[in-house]
A and B are shown apart, each in its own frame.
Chain A
């Protein structure tokens, strides 16, 4: 069989594949894309107006006291937040505690290299599962190792697989994914995410006050396709310490802690295997 015959065989095997989407649906979707592109200009107008009139609302969450924090424009706050995030060491351990609706609680510890630990809990606070993801080997041939502990069945498994070459890439943010619940937070990705949210929606300073004794600035706004996103930012360090995303289908809120890369904090990236747990093979469909 020559190349031409081989190509014909392969090509003909696809002849029953037809697009199922009517053109009207594509055109309608394109209108949404065009509308999304027009948003940044509108946002600028809204932001300027908002900055001019900054009517400071008190933070609705936690005990609040009247405006002890200087009020600033959205641009000023975001600039300081991203500078604070970018100045953090890449191996900062980010601890998050999140609550989702319906009630699920997840704790994560992550660093910029992609190493992470995640623990899930039942509504009553009992641990369900723990996951550890590590990357090892030369940068030209990274291996990803996943370890999972099931506290209910008292079992655990581990799976290592070739991951690829090069650094573990950062998430590429766009207007359709900025609201997603990414578990692997790191300071630089969060800074990039904030910038993208500003260009994709109307995120702005909506108030200042104190939360749990911390001087706080609150940023909030609607981001197209992602619902309403809200950040509570420590007005002294300019690091976000709480984040909430409320979409039409889901809501989650989380607390954030930025932990220096000490030995004790780095150890939190590992999942200990409890004594007496049985090792089992990874699930059959695990890659």
Chain B
């Protein structure tokens, strides 16, 4: 491996799990998340001279993975499998028996709008601050704050029993 590859290998070793968790929290399906993250890391590796200098290369990977997902989604909703026109639907990830994540939490995440999920995922797993999250998702910092507040409120409603919820201040 070249020094450049070693550098990438180190980045991959440190970031692969976190990136996978972030994308999983966004898309809800571990198999899909793994595919997307693999593709994004491969693209990062192919452009490592540039991506390696990015201030937050993991955010670059996440953004690429989410963009790949959007491209696939756009393509697939206009395609129907030639072999089986009725195919193409999958059970929600929350019902996936093989999921390594508490299905109650995954279901709560999947109930959030996509953008809120992405904000939560970037803040939770990559520890990105508001500015970096905004940059990664190409949205305004104020929008990040609003999405995060709404997402946490929604998660609290679902995950925290009513008697344990704090009174609004």
Contacts and interface: CB of A to CB of B under 8 A. Distances in A.
- Among A3, A98, A100, residue most surrounded by chain B Cβ atoms (within 10 Å): A3
Given A6-B159, A14-B25, A21 B34 contact: yes
Contacts of A287: 89
B34 A14 contact: no
Interface bin, chain A: 35 or more
Given A18-B17, A19-B16, A1 B165 contact: yes
Interface bin, chain B: 35 or more
Interface stretch (A29-37, A70-78, A233-241, A264-272): A29-37
B12 A17 contact: no
A17 B159 contact: no
Nearest to B39: A29
Contacts of A11: 124-125
Interface in A175-203: 177, 180-184
12 contacts: A9-B159, A21-B37, A23-B12, A26-B38, A27-B5, A27-B42, A32-B42, A98-B82, A106-B82, A129-B86, A177-B71, A183-B79
Interface of A: 1-3, 6-7, 9-11, 13-14, 16-21, 23, 25-27, 29-34, 37, 98, 100, 104, 106, 114, 118, 120, 129, 131, 148, 168-169, 171-172, 174, 177, 180-184, 250, 252, 283, 285-287
Interface of B: 1, 5, 8-9, 12-13, 16-17, 19-21, 24-25, 30, 34, 37-39, 41-46, 48, 71, 74-75, 78-80, 82-83, 85-86, 89, 91, 100-102, 105-106, 109, 120, 123-125, 152, 155-156, 159-160, 164-166
